[in-house]
A and B are shown apart, each in its own frame.
Chain A
Amino acid sequence: MKIAVIVFPGSNCDVDLYEALHSVCHADVEYVSHKEKSLDGFDAVMLPGGFSYGDYLRAGAIARFTNIMPAVIRMAKEGKPVFGTCNGFQILTEVGLLPGALKRNDSQKFVCKTVPLEVVNNQTIFTRQYKDHERIALPIAHADGSYFADEQTLDRLEENHQVVFRYAEENPNGSLRNIAGITNERGNVLGMMPHPERAVEALLGSTAGLRLFKSLLETGSAKVEE
């Protein structure tokens, strides 16, 4: 599986994501600039954390207009894996590949710490190597991570098992229903505020994020059928 890591102006977790895939998972991965128009030859695409376009207007709002985004949307529509963490999650909601929005943390503070999470759905291509309802801990680092959607959308997410990660014990940002990560209805697009790429080696303090990448890399067929 060949994976693209998109680099936007202001991305700052692109290297973390690349190295998690390259150095730790020995995956075939390449950086792709936001200026490119094609993702031909890639089987999956990942949007890194950071502050694309300085979070101007709203986090992720401007990245939507980059050259590469039509190709990302096309891959999502084809059922190929699309993953966004932190700012990548914000971008995926802004382009409409995932429902809802990420708003300012209730505390008004930038929150940077490791938080306990529950794996709510371990039947996705991204979470197959986690146990059902497993408790893990992953780092978060954001000011705009409070997941918001209307009640109807939240109910639909739960009914379709699209809630993949939930904050356990404490809710660090005010996210409705403690939502930390969701997929689209088809299950091939995952967005989450926590950073699995920062928890892939014991030296980093945790390897809890590693199985997310391994789930994707070791499942063979990358494409999710409709």
Chain B
Amino acid sequence: MTKVRIFVTYKQSVFDPQGETIKDAIHTLGHDDVKDVQVGKFFDVTVDGSKDAVEKTVKEIADQLLVNFNMETYTYQVMEED
């Protein structure tokens, strides 16, 4: 079994209103050093199969469901393998 974390965010070119709002809130804390905040979400999925099969599954579910490529993009990271 392999645990994979899939991160989904808006594309760089897409305005992220949540990120902007949170950045403004951070500035009211006095942290003007924070220049940008991007909000995203992650999915921890546990997948059965070989390394190649797991990556194939992750790409398929990201492409077909987890990500809307009109506005979003994704990365993933293998968390645990056993």
Contact = CB atoms under 8 A, between A and B. Distances in A.
A101 B68 contact: yes
Interface residues of B, number: 11
Interface string B1-29: 00000000010001101100100000000
A146 B15 CA distance: 11
B17 A148 contact: no
A57 interface: yes
B70 interface: yes
Contacts of B18: 104, 108
Interface string A48-74: 000000000110010000000000000
Interface in A102-151: 103-108, 146, 148-150
How many interface residues does chain A have, given as a range? 10 to 19
Interface string B40-73: 0000000000000000000000000110101100
Contacts of A99: 70
Contact of B71 (A101, A105, A106): A101
Nearest to B14: A148
A150 B21 CA distance: 23
11 contacts: A58-B68, A93-B70, A100-B70, A101-B71, A103-B10, A104-B18, A106-B15, A106-B17, A108-B17, A148-B70, A149-B70
